[in-house]
């Protein structure tokens, strides 16, 4: 199956140039990729002229309007049939493409995607999932990162199933290690919602995951767990704290190395190590958050992503299509619905 991916060419800080260049890089790595670029036709045509190999396997769908960074989700919904973002998502709904990628307004993209694609059977709410760097070779899947500020135990159970399916595809784990984010690892810690979700996951039979209870926020980057599940409020705060800490560490190192002649000499000696750290923490290498739980694949690229970051987001979308993410989620959701206690399933 050759993935055909819709690209919202107008989203992101740099717009058309970077989105097209990112798609070109992704296609260079994977010759089978095909694209539908949605946005201003003249701008896209001009950008494609710099990538003749990409142009041969691409089509353009002209869109009159763009969802701005300041648009509220309600505004974006009203004009979705005429915006590049809305038209890209609707191409997924119509079956014209396998997935959509946008670097535009996150709230608008979630609203448009949820309305157009609806949630999968057995899923109450979609969740925003992303890969975060760890101390080990593989990234950790974390969700929800902001789509749902308040969640029931049933939502958390569903997020665990979706996150495990995502991890199996991206890392090849047969039974990813899954934990719920909590204020302690003891079984008695946390809210009733978290405890109910944990008990249901412990009791479920035949799931393609290894549920291991709770983890705390200071363990997110250790690599000791493959999937971390939480509500969107806590997840977004944790994500922003991690991003801020990464910037703090890199800026502090830079300042320290420039503080004296001895420090500058030390920097030259340690440069290979600092370059490796920079590469590991580079958000472009982990770009591509996914709206899991919808009847279609939609990937959110970071607005500031460069062409390497956009290429990574495109590759995430293609992997999810090729490895049948929707079918994998459906299979395990059926097992949860059959084994979860009635009082939890009803929440």
Residue 148: name the closest of 182, 198, 111 by CA: 111
Domain shared by 5 and 41, yes or no: yes
What CATH number does the domain containing 5 carry? 3.40.718.10
Q: Per DSSP, what are the bridge partners of residue 39?
A: 62
Domain shared by 105 and 2, yes or no: yes
pLDDT in tens, 306-323: 889 999 999 999 999 999
pLDDT value of position 101: 95
Question: How many domains, in total, are found in the chain?
Answer: 2
- Point out the domain boundary residue: 65, 94, 117: 117
- Point out the domain boundary residue: 76, 102, 117: 117
The answer as to whether 293 is a domain residue is no
pLDDT (mean) for 253-278: 66
Does 341 have pLDDT greater than 50?
Answer: no
3-state secondary structure 103-154: CCCHHHHHHHHHHHHCECCCCCCCEEEEEECCCCCCCEEEECCCCCCCCCHH
pLDDT (mean) for 322-345: 70
DSSP conformation class of 225? -
Structural domain of 64? 1-117
Confidence of residue 260 (pLDDT cuts 50, 70, 90): confident
pLDDT value of position 84: 94
Domain shared by 208 and 343, yes or no: yes
Does 295 have pLDDT greater than 90?
Answer: yes
Tokens at 17, concatenated: 């140039």
The answer as to whether 302 is a domain residue is no
Domain shared by 86 and 146, yes or no: no
pLDDT value of position 163: 95
Domain shared by 110 and 181, yes or no: no
Q: Strand 140-143 vs strand 58-62: parallel, antiparallel, or unpaired?
A: unpaired
* 70 class by beta-carbon count within 10 Å (0-12 exposed, 13-18 middle, 19+ buried): exposed
């Amino acid at each position: 199956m050759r993935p055909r991916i819709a690209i919202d060419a107008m989203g992101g800080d740099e717009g058309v140039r970077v989105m097209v260049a990112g798609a070109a890089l992704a296609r260079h790595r994977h010759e089978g990729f095909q694209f539908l670029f949605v946005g201003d036709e003249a701008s896209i045509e001009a950008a494609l002229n710099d990538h003749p190999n990409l142009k041969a396997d691409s089509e353009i769908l002209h869109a009159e309007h763009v969802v701005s960074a300041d648009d509220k989700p309600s505004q974006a919904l009203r004009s979705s049939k005429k915006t590049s973002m809305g038209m890209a998502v609707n191409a997924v709904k119509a079956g014209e493409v396998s997935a959509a990628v946008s670097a535009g307004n996150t709230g608008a993209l979630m609203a448009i995607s949820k309305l157009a694609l609806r949630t999968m059977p057995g899923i109450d709410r979609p969740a925003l999932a992303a890969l975060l760097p760890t101390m080990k070779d593989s990234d950790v899947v974390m969700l929800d990162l902001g789509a749902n500020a308040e969640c029931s135990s049933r939502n958390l159970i569903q997020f665990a199933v979706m996150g495990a399916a995502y991890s199996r595809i991206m890392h090849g784990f047969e039974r990813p290690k899954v934990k719920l984010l909590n204020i302690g690892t003891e079984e008695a810690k946390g809210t009733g919602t978290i405890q109910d979700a944990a008990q249901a996951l412990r009791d479920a039979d035949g799931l393609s995951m290894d549920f291991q209870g709770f983890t705390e926020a200071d363990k997110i980057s250790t690599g000791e767990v493959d999937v971390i599940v939480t509500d969107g409020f806590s997840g977004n705060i944790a994500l922003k704290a991690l991003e801020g800490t990464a910037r703090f560490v890199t800026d502090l190192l830079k300042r320290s190395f420039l503080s004296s002649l001895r420090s500058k000499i030390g920097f030259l000696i340690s440069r290979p190590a600092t370059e490796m750290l920079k590469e590991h923490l580079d958000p472009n290498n982990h770009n591509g958050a996914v709206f899991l739980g919808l009847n279609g694949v939609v990937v959110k690229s970071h607005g500031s992503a460069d062409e390497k970051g956009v290429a990574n987001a495109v590759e995430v979308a293609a992997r999810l299509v090729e490895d049948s993410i929707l079918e994998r989620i459906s299979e395990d959701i059926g097992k949860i619905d059959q084994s979860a206690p009635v009082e939890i399933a009803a929440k």
